[in-house]
A = this chain, B = another copy of it.
Amino acid sequence: MVTISKDHPRYNSLVLRDKLVDGRKRGITSIHGLIAYGRGEAFDYLIGERTTTNAREATAAVGAYLLTAQRPIISVNGNVAALAPAELAELSEITEAPLEINLYHRSTQRSEKIEQHLRDFGARRILTGRDYVQLPGIASERAKVDKGGIFLADVVFVPLEDGDRCEALKKSGKAVLVVDLNPFSRTALAASVTVVDELTRTMGNLIEFTRKMQHAGDQERLEVLKSKFDNIQNLKISYSIILSRLQTASFFKKDPIDVLFSIPSHPQE
């Protein structure tokens, strides 16, 4: 990886990018995954590159679902594995939820590389979907889910899910928890809980929350958190934040350079 100065105003963003680029070099991230990631970045600019209060509440709801599940599972794709392998391993330990590798562009080779990558970061519960069943209603390879994993799970945490599968998982009666920076996406709208936040920020908050709440005595509080959570309300808040940031931007009012997005640009190419 390239060394990036911590003073750089886009330090965090550049570190994440380099993790993905590194993931690509190691055969973990797919090419399409890089484009999808860029799309998320744009929405992160719009949301302000920070965890909003409602996103924090949604993250707590995700934690509550995971900790009260009968059979929780965490579905992992190439981007997620490249961006947050240590966090995935830790969350899997805390919640006892296995990590199921589930790829849109499925390949045994890539799956094995991701498995090794996760193990390198301490993950112990990993499912690969080699023994799979087909979920109905999905055209892509992601229809294939592990017999003992997503197929049987009551709660599925799928950071960075696609719309088709999110809807199919929901229809099959599971609680579906996603992280999606675009509050307008089909995934965001179909999920039980949508954290409109950047993945690594979410993972950090989720680990903190689940560590605190993992003890049996907290079950009742967790049930309350789940039952009080309203995902449409949550998405409406993220939408309002984007809208009001755009409306109140000093954009063009004084110095045209002094704008909402007056940040050093990323390399374009």
Contact = CB atoms under 8 A, between A and B. Distances in A.
The 6 tightest CB contacts between A and B, nearest first, are A38-B38, A42-B42, A163-B265, A184-B261, A34-B34, A35-B38
Contact of A33 (B78, B162, B268): B268
Interface of A: 17, 20-21, 24, 29-43, 45, 77-79, 103-105, 140, 160-164, 182, 184-187, 189-190, 232, 235-236, 239, 242-243, 246-247, 249, 251-252, 256-257, 259-269
A182 B261 contact: yes
A257 B41 CA distance: 23
Contacts of A186: 257, 261-265
B184 A264 contact: no
Contacts of A160: 268-269
A207 B264 CA distance: 32
26 contacts: A20-B31, A20-B35, A24-B31, A32-B266, A32-B267, A32-B269, A35-B35, A36-B38, A38-B40, A38-B42, A42-B43, A79-B269, A103-B269, A140-B267, A160-B269, A182-B261, A184-B259, A184-B260, A185-B265, A189-B256, A189-B259, A232-B252, A232-B256, A239-B246, A239-B251, A243-B247
